[in-house]
Amino acid sequence: MGIVFCAMNPCLAVSDLIPDALVTHYGPLAFGVALLVVVWKVIIGPELEERREMIETFATTMERASNMATAGKMAAEASERAAQASERAAESLRISVERLEQYEQRSKE
């Protein structure tokens, strides 16, 4: 049995993953390439998958934050329009009150 990797659940021996015929026929170069593939599958691959999941979660969170910001901006614009309409209504009421006061003063005279 060769070097044992236990980075993930099932413990794997390099000899289980690399056929003996490959090492015998191609020598150390095949062993090195095969070992690189084993390291990739056992250590690097799962780490990359975990990072990918983290990035997807982050992207989803950022998209939600962007949607919330857009909704907030739309609410602010609606509030601004409502405030402008309220100002116009208040100005109209102020003018109406002034005219009523002028009318009352004239009718008293």
**Residue extents of the structural domains in the chain:** 4-84
Cα–Cα dist 83/77, whole Å: 10
13 backbone dihedrals φ, ψ, rounded to 5°: -95, 140
Q: Average pLDDT for residues 64-81, to the nearest whole number?
A: 96
| pTM of the predicted model over 0.75 | no
Q: Confidence class of residue 70 from pLDDT cuts 50, 70 and 90?
A: very high
Token pair 């100002």: residue: 87
Residue 20, pLDDT above cutoff 90: no
SS3 breakdown of the chain: % helix, strand, coil, rounded to 5? Answer: 85, 5, 10
